[in-house]
Structure 1
Amino acid sequence: MTMGRLDGICAVVTGAGSGLGRAIVERFTAEGAHVVALDRSAAKLAKLAADLGDLVTTVTGDVTSYADNVRACETAVARQGRLDSFVANAGLWDFGRSLADSDPDDLQAGFDELFAVNVKALVLGAKAALPALTTSRGSVICTLSNAAFYPVGGGPLYVASKHAGVGLVRQLAYELAPEVRVNAVAPGGMATDLRGPASMGLDATSIESTIPIREYVKSTTALHLDVRPEDYVGAYVLLAARDESSTVTGTVIDVSSFGIPRRPTES
């Protein structure tokens, strides 16, 4: 029998019901991991469980709740006897709302809601997972964005939240060493169900339904790829596979190619 790169490990993945989160779950289970999938959508989790069966355990909850993060981590330990990776993947986008075009009330409420998911949830998830990860000498893996390095990946709220994520990864990598590694992956654009803050009226809006994101990514990036969520998940496997990344902590892997100008093709 061929062994997977993640045979025997147990991971919690947040925002696991669709998009990049679901792609991570599918790849992790294909590589031999058991995944505890945390998402606020019971319907999405039910579909995930129907498709993957015993390879996944689902927990309906809110990533901004410390108690829900603890419940997911405790579920992992109860089900598999261990937790090896906590993948803090859930996020919100601000749909590029600029400072000038944003209502002051929307900015205040949107900041609190978006930062709660994109930043506070990383802190709460890492805290909830820390006892089990210390025991297993495991790792935290955060989903950031090319917006963690460059402007224009969103508006000021989103870009600031992803830059904050870089600082958080570096600080936690320092604090939690040597027992726990802390890293992040920075994907580029992709067509998913990623939504925005309800307080800004963006909770019913998904990136794939409002923006020709696949065409944009293909036409503006160096590799001219029609990128899908599954194209980004290899870096998560690398960081979760202890034998392949045992020396890696405090690192953000940029998998977006957005930093490289597109070279025109010959006609």
Structure 2
Amino acid sequence: MTIASATDGGRLAGRTAVVTGAASGIGRAVAERFVREGASVVATDIDEAGLDRLVRQLPGAVSTVVGDVARDEDARRMVEAAVERHGRLDVLVANAGVIPLMEITEATAEDWDRVMAVDGRGMFLTCKYAIRAMTAQDRPGGSIVCLSSISGEAGQRGQAVYGPAKFVASGLTKHLAVEWADRGIRVNAVAPGTTATERVARLRDEPGGPEYLAAIERLHPMRRLGDPAEVAAAVLFLASDEASFVTGVVLPVDGGYLAQ
């Protein structure tokens, strides 16, 4: 484990955050932005090498936990690490997920179980342990931001496995927001459109990938893919005190996709 010192000031100064799936993509962008805003970040992922690269790159406070959010013990360790290392947990960003693209006739039961394990069960477990920590600390309360998707708000082709898991993310967000609002815990989500992560970039080298990307760009009214940093900015808003009266929201960051 490597730890660097936090920056002074910022919208998350003095806060501790756990970011799951932080080795790449949106999770990495969130970790980077949170550090610049003064947070102490516990970055988690199954990709140990990716986490090591993150630690070397970030100029602010970050420590790591290698684990699988779908495993109860690993999810608990991720949250406990924040409390043990920094004394409390203020923010959870439940971002970890897998993104298969397939129609239902191509998908197997194993495909379904794998996606639901990470994107569904993993989000459930990390939220569960985060809420336990947030309610047990000296100053109860906190903010949870779940990563949903436009696929968790509307139907799309080729998303028969991934999309339903993101409907879980949107639904869990709303139910937890109502359940824990009176105990000082806000629960929101962002619903990104197609975002230029490393996974999406690899589609350009896969059969049918370039055609898929060209088609999906046309479906976004802004006629481009999102940038992970743009999603991270929305996550920061929901995590910060600027959203102090916001809970139960699924915020699209989608270039107008869901407005159609």
Note if 1:183 corresponds to 2:188. Answer: yes
Alignment correspondent of 1:201: none
Match of 2:159 among 155, 162, 173: 155
Residues 150-205 of structure 1, C-alpha deviations (whole Å, 9 max, x = no match) = 1116421111111122211111112222221111110011222348xxxxxxxxx9
Q: Aligned ranges for residues 31-70 of structure 1 at < 5 Å?
A: 31-52=37-58, 55-70=61-76
Alignment correspondent of 1:233: 232
Note if contact 2:94-2:145 (Cα within 8 Å) is conserved in structure 1.
yes
1:158–1:8 distance in 2 versus 1, CA, 3 Å: same
Match of 2:77 among 71, 89, 104: 71
1:11–1:208 distance in 2 versus 1, CA, 3 Å: farther
Note if contact 1:193-1:208 (Cα within 8 Å) is conserved in structure 2.
no
1:218–1:13 distance in 2 versus 1, CA, 3 Å: same
Note if 1:132 corresponds to 2:133. Answer: yes
Alignment correspondent of 2:3: none
Number of residues of Structure 1 aligned to a counterpart in Structure 2: 246
Post-superposition offset of 1:74: 1.4
Alignment correspondent of 1:15: 21
Alignment correspondent of 1:86: 92
Alignment correspondent of 1:122: 123
> Which residue identity is paired with 1:70?
R
Post-superposition offset of 1:208: 5.7
Post-superposition offset of 1:94: 2.1
Name the CA distance, whole Å, in 1 between partners of 2:199 and 2:174: 26
Note if contact 1:63-1:121 (Cα within 8 Å) is conserved in structure 2.
yes
Alignment correspondent of 1:255: 253
Secondary structure of the 1:227 match is coil
Note if contact 2:193-2:225 (Cα within 8 Å) is conserved in structure 1.
no
Match of 1:165 among 166, 169, 184: 169
Note if contact 2:25-2:198 (Cα within 8 Å) is conserved in structure 1.
yes
How many percent of aligned residue pairs carry the same amino acid? 38
Note if contact 1:190-1:229 (Cα within 8 Å) is conserved in structure 2.
yes
Note if contact 1:3-1:32 (Cα within 8 Å) is conserved in structure 2.
yes
Secondary structure of the 2:258 match is coil
1:174–1:234 distance in 2 versus 1, CA, 3 Å: same
Alignment correspondent of 1:113: 114
Residues 65-123 of structure 1, C-alpha deviations (whole Å, 9 max, x = no match) = 1211211111111221111011110111121x1123x1xxx421111110011111111
1:208–1:227 distance in 2 versus 1, CA, 3 Å: farther
Name the CA distance, whole Å, in 1 between partners of 2:50 and 2:205: 18
Note if contact 2:177-2:248 (Cα within 8 Å) is conserved in structure 1.
yes
1:58–1:93 distance in 2 versus 1, CA, 3 Å: same
1:98–1:153 distance in 2 versus 1, CA, 3 Å: closer
TM-score (norm 1): 0.85
Secondary structure of the 1:253 match is strand
> Which residue identity is paired with 2:232?
V
Alignment correspondent of 2:223: 224
Post-superposition offset of 1:54: 5.4
Alignment correspondent of 1:174: 178
Note if contact 2:152-2:167 (Cα within 8 Å) is conserved in structure 1.
yes
Note if 1:193 corresponds to 2:201. Answer: no
Gaps of 5+ in 1: 196-204, 262-267
> Which residue identity is paired with 1:169?
T
1:260–1:171 distance in 2 versus 1, CA, 3 Å: closer
1:94–1:226 distance in 2 versus 1, CA, 3 Å: closer
